[in-house]
Amino acid sequence: MKLPVRIFDLSKSEQRVVIVIILALIAGAFAAYERRARQPPVQPITTTAPQQSPSPPPKDAQ
């Protein structure tokens, strides 16, 4: 049984449009990959020692 697959039945101009879109997507993905690959490595963030918050005054000191 032969199924009609009309999605692949494109005119020459439609084929060109599909090829241009695919090439643009590949170029965009490659540019994004290169941008990510060329970033300097992430520097570790230095943290300060945690400071103790001031405790509330005792209740019987009023």
What b-and-e string marks burial along 16-48, b requiring 16 or more CB atoms within 10 Å of the CB? eeeeeeeeeeeeeeeeeeeeeeeeeeeeeeeee
Q: What was the pLDDT predicted at 61? A: 55
Longest Cα pair distance anywhere in the chain, in angstroms?
94
Over 60: is that where the pLDDT of 1 sits? no
pTM over 0.85: no
- Cα separation, 1 vs 53, in Å, equals 78
Mind listing the pLDDT tens digit for each residue in 12-57? Answer: 999 999 999 999 999 999 999 999 888 777 777 776 776 777 777 7
Q: What was the pLDDT predicted at 30? A: 96
- Cα separation, 47 vs 39, in Å, equals 23
